[in-house]
Amino acid sequence: MPSSRKKLVSRKSAARKPAQSKGRKTAPKSKAIIRPDLLLESAKVVLFSYRYGGAQNHGFSYVSPQAKAVVGVAAAALMKSADALRLHPDDVERYNARVLGAMAKGEDVNAQIRVMLSSSEVHWVQLSAWRQSKKNRVSIYSGVVLDIDAHKLAEAETLNTLDRMEQAQDIAKLGWYDMNVQDRVIDLTSEFADNLGLPFAPGGRVTGVQADKYREAFLNAIHPEDRERYMSIISDPTWRRTEFDYRVLTRSNEVRHLCSRIQRTTDKNGNRVRDFAVILDITERKRMEEDLRAQAATDPLTGVPNRRSFETTARREVERARRYAKPFSVLALDIDHFKRVNDTYGHDIGDIVLKGVSRICLEKLRVTDILARLGGEEFAMLLPETDIDAATNLAERLRYAIESNPIVTAKGALPVTVSLGVAQYAPNEPTIEAALKRADEAMYEAKRSGRNKIVVAKLPSLVRAVS
């Protein structure tokens, strides 16, 4: 039977023995010694033992020396009386419920509470304890107290930042979605679903077949006139970041304007993997832009188009007339003796007269006809698909309607008359200006020949008076 004794080596043999056998690594000369007590001392951690035998029989049986730095009370004072722990007044009830209440039930302890390091300095600590044994109705707990004040401060700042982001998101009506194309997973916000009038997925995530259905519902929500453009942008493999506007139809059939800003991730082969998109509701902005465009194209006093808008519309009508060989005519209208109205009654009454003449003209014109104020008391009318005879008849109806309906003002009903020039656009004229000039010249001829009448411009330059 082999002996269990270790073989001893004499000092001489040991002295002759080489320091290292061939092929063996040299042992390190010194080893770093880990000192748990030093680590514990440098960390903001308190170890403790606690005995709990009832509401009147409990307290610390051991507290590590770090207690003063972590909870503001010396370890000896805590072991003398647990009441030495200075709790924040608002956390006393929480301590009694989550710490002492848990011990009374024999449960593990886990609580975040505030302690008073001084009269003005408050720190958050995490107190955790686990029951080790129970004897004679006394439970023995081992636990740890961690200083989590920095963590709580960062948590509060994070929550504050998130709260501000949510407020900004709510104000801006901002939503987002994160779509993993290959795994068929979509994370989204309720704002994104609301913008489209789609049901919000529980937890903000849809996967597999549900993700496919959600994508289909999203595409169906896009306005039919914008769907093809949207699909061409999304399917373009060349971009990595893009931004574009489009319209959607909600479930209530309301048109909303959205702006998508999308960041795309691809694999090494350039295949689309992930789209992260921020969706901004720009409906109000679009409405404001439309209002501004309307204001820029509208006479602020009468509400009818201004000269710039009239010329733009007239150019389009010229193109249409030349393409389809359709006639159209223009009328030039000027209020007779308007300066006398301003000088006699004031500009406020003059403004009422201008608005009254505009209103009568709009009542007599067709929906397709365009009335514009060119400036002062001068107006122009564009009459699509109207030849010279029909335009002359309309001009006479306008002249008679204005003459027959005095404008009601604060100074009484004022009789008003107008002079009109009529011209038909000639197909060989490259622009509308030539027809407008002939109508304008005809209108001035009506004023020179007595006012309250119509003059029709002949092609190219002959005119005739119509009573």
- Domain locations along the chain: 38-148, 173-286, 298-466
pLDDT at 44: 79
- The class that CATH gives domain 173-286 is alpha beta
Angle between helices 224-234 and 208-221 (to 10 degrees): 130
pLDDT of residue 250: 81
- What does the pLDDT read at residue 441? 95
Q: Please state, for a pLDDT cut of 90, what percent of the chain lies above it.
A: 54
Query: How confident is the model at residue 190, as a pLDDT?
Result: 76
Separation between Cα atoms, residue 422 and residue 411, nearest integer Å:
33
Tokens representing residue 262 in the block: 């999308």
Count how many residues are written for the chain.
Answer: 467
Where would I find the H helices in 188-297?
190-196, 208-221, 224-234, 283-296
Token pair 């209020």 in the structure block, residue: 335
Indicate if the pLDDT at residue 12 is higher than 60.
no
Q: Work out the percent of the chain whose per-residue pLDDT is above 70.
A: 84
How does the average pLDDT of the chain come out, rounded? Answer: 84
Task: Give the residue with greater pLDDT, 340 vs 11.
Answer: 340
Question: Is 70 exceeded by the pLDDT of residue 269?
Answer: yes
Q: Which range among 67-81, 147-161, 254-268 shows the weakest confidence by mean pLDDT?
A: 147-161
Can you tell me the mean pLDDT for 90-95?
93
**Is residue 319 among the annotated active site residues?**
no
Contact (Cβ atoms closer than 8 angstroms) between residue 63 and residue 75 = yes
Average the pLDDT over 9-31 and give the result: 46
Q: What is the pLDDT of residue 229?
A: 95
DSSP annotation string for 359-372? HHHHHHS-TT-EEE
Confidence of residue 174 (pLDDT cuts 50, 70, 90): low
Q: Which of 39-43, 146-150, 392-396 has the lowest mean pLDDT?
A: 39-43
Burial class (CB in 10 A: 0-12, 13-18, 19+), 146: middle
Torsion sign (Cα): 157, 159, 165, 167: negative
**Lowest-pLDDT choice from 33-37, 176-180, 340-344, 395-399:** 33-37
Catalytic residue among 191, 311, 317, 377: 377
Structure tokens at 395: 């001009």
Same fold, 173-286 and 298-466: no
CA distance readout (Å), 448 to 258, 332, 445: 57, 15, 5
Mean pLDDT of 120-143: 93
| Mean of pLDDT values over 2-15 | 39
- Give the long-range contacts of residues 209-213, CB within 8 A, separation 24 or more: 211/179, 211/184, 211/185, 211/186, 212/184
Q: How far apart are CA 116 and CA 124, in angstroms?
A: 9
pLDDT at 9: 38
CA distance 65 to 56: 26
pLDDT over threshold 70, residue 24 = no
User: Looking at the predicted structure, is the pLDDT value of residue 293 above 50?
Assistant: yes
Average pLDDT over residues 409-419: 94
Higher pLDDT, 171 or 121: 121
Q: Determine the Cα–Cα distance for residues 308 and 306; give it in Å rounded to an integer.
A: 6
| Chain segment 216-245, per-residue pLDDT in tens | 888 888 999 999 999 999 989 899 999 999
Domain covering 38-148: architecture? 2-Layer Sandwich (3.30)
- Give the CATH architecture of domain 298-466: 2-Layer Sandwich (3.30)
Q: What is the pLDDT of residue 14?
A: 41
Ordered DSSP codes for 145-202? EEE-HHHHHHHHHHHHHHHHHHHHHHHHTEEEEEEETTTTEEEE-HHHHHHHTPPPPG
- Cα–chain center distance at 236: 25
The answer to whether the peptide bond before residue 427 is cis (omega within 30 degrees of 0) is no
Confidence tier at 186 by pLDDT (50, 70, 90):
confident
pLDDT at 196 (0 to 100): 62
Condensed to tens digits (0 to 9), the pLDDT of residues 360-410 reads 999 999 999 999 999 999 999 999 999 999 999 999 999 999 999 999 999
pLDDT at residue 167 is higher than 90: no
Question: Considering only 43-47, 90-94, 202-206, 445-449, which range has the smallest mean pLDDT?
Answer: 202-206
**CB of 371 closer than 8 Å to CB of 304:** yes
Residue 172: predicted pLDDT = 56
The pLDDT tens digits of the residues spanning 49-72 come to 999 999 999 999 999 999 999 999
Band (pLDDT 50/70/90 cuts) for residue 7 is very low
What would the two tokens of residue 447 be? 């004023």
